Amino acid sequence: MTEEVITVLLYAQLDDELGPNPLVWLPTNYSPNDVMHIVIKVIAVLSGEQGLVPQSLVVLPFPTLNLKGLIKYIKWDDPNRRGGIGQSAIALLFREIDDVIFYKYMNQLTPPFGEITQKIINLEKKKAPKETFSESLEEFELNLSNLLEELKNKEKVQAKEFPEQKVKEAGLVDYKFKIAIVGDPGVGKTSLILRYTNNAFRRSYIPTLGVHVSDKIFKVEGSTVQLVLWDIAGQIKFETMRQQFYLGSDAILLVFDLTNEKSFKNLSNWYLDVKNQLKNRPDLVGFIVGNKKDLTEELQISAEKAIELANTQDLSYIETSALTGENVDSAFNDLANKLYNTFK
């Protein structure tokens, strides 16, 4: 295995009887307990999406392992299986320090995953032995490792966006602010954060599992400011859990989808959900964010209507597009400046 880029590579099936089943993985001596933890989380996405399988590569966080995963979900017709379909996934896990290369070069990584997907489907249909799957995974790992090394070296030379791990000493940060980003599922919270922190856009929606924490450090008027961004899941099943995630927040972003009127109507509930947990804090700084501005033919909420709601909650309003990047930096940077001027 290429430890510099790939931590573990595995192939897992959604078996009718066994459930999540890790069939083969590399390196073969990787902890079986960690392998099962990975597979359960990866396959849980399939089981919770009503049979819909993401077509594109997607990224999932694995905080307990300090890793992220690039996942390719696979689906094929199989009359011998429940529902007449087979489902499985290939998961490549990597260190968070290396995530820029996976977001930035997603297009270059897509073709090799497409090739191994077709091989896997053929093997599944033939009911090939485990050894054959292992051989295919080893070949895929070798080819992918070479590609990743090329991309990593390219990134080091051209953009220098692939640095060694930085030690974030507390003394180097003058101001640290926690931002809670909330809103209905699918409005683009995670995509906004990825655009801001990595200049990336993830086109496949995978529900955030509870919370995903990111950060960005930069200068404001000569002071070092760290924004800690809490991407909080919108699903009802996380309602009790997420209330604890609000604690200590210095600001909020209430995000809705400009093409989805229901997500706008639910903003008042989100605002109260946060405020009820932060009763002893001063008025929150923040924005109402109307995302997906690029979908001009599908817009349902006018700026006037959104500004009216923002005024009732003493928040500002901004429209963004995680796809094009429009106003994304402005939203976060303006928020950072407001917080800095409030707390300095």
Domain shared by 117 and 242, yes or no: no
pLDDT band at 204 (very low <50, low <70, confident <90, very high): very low
Quick one: pLDDT at residue 237? 47
pLDDT at 96 over 90: no
- Domain of residue 152, residue span: 8-158
Q: Are residues 218 and 327 in the same domain?
A: yes
Amino acid at 43: I
Please tell me whether the peptide bond between 27 and the residue prior to it is cis, using omega within 30 degrees of 0: yes
CA distance 331 to 327: 6
**Which of 216, 218, 206, 212 shows the shortest CA–CA distance to 182?**
212
**pLDDT band, very low/low/confident/very high, at 167 (cuts 50, 70, 90):** very low
Among the candidates 108, 131, 158, a domain finishes at 158
pLDDT tens, residue by residue, 2-61: 446 899 999 999 877 777 889 999 999 999 999 999 998 888 776 555 556 677 888 888
The answer to whether residues 244 and 129 belong to one domain is no
* Higher pLDDT, residue 13 or 168: 13
240 plus 103 within the same structural domain: no
Same domain, 184 and 274: yes
Strand order in the sheet with 85-95: 19-26, 8-15, 85-95, 67-77, 58-62
Q: Inform me whether the pLDDT recorded for 166 exceeds 60.
A: no
Q: Say if residue 54 is in the same domain as residue 124.
A: yes
pLDDT above 70 covers a percentage of the chain that reads: 82
**3 found inside a domain:** no
Burial 130-161 (b: 16+ CB within 10 A, else e): eeebbebbeebbeebbebbeebbeebeeeeee
Of 71-75, 155-159, 308-312, where does mean pLDDT reach its minimum? 155-159
pLDDT(238) > 50: no
Cβ atoms 1, 149 nearer than 8 A: no
Instruction: Count how many domains the chain has.
Output: 2
Section 228-256 average pLDDT: 73
Specify if 164 maps to a domain: no
- Last residue of one domain, picked from the residues 132, 158, 184: 158
Render pLDDT for 169-192 as a digit per residue (tens, 0 to 9). Answer: 445 778 888 888 999 888 988 888
When pLDDT is averaged across residues 239-264 and rounded to a whole number, the result is 82
Choosing from 117, 133, 158, the residue where a domain stops is: 158
Instruction: Give the global pTM.
Output: 0.52
Instruction: Return d(Cα 153, Cα 278) in angstroms, integer.
Output: 46
Residue that has been written with the tokens 């400046």 in this structure: 337
**Does 125 lie in the same domain as 75?**
yes
Nearby residues of 232 by Cβ (< 8 Å), 6 or more positions away: 180, 181, 182, 189, 208, 211, 238, 242, 245, 246
Residues whose CB falls within 8 Å of the CB of residue 68, separated by 6 or more in sequence, listed in order = 59, 60, 61, 62, 93, 94, 95, 96, 99, 102
Residue 154 shares a structural domain with residue 275: no
Give the per-residue pLDDT at 239. 52
What is the enclosing helix (H) or strand (E) of 155?
Answer: helix 130-158
3-class DSSP state of 168: coil
Instruction: For residue 123, name the pLDDT band (cuts at 50, 70, 90).
Output: very high
> According to DSSP H, which parts of 27-88 are helical?
32-47
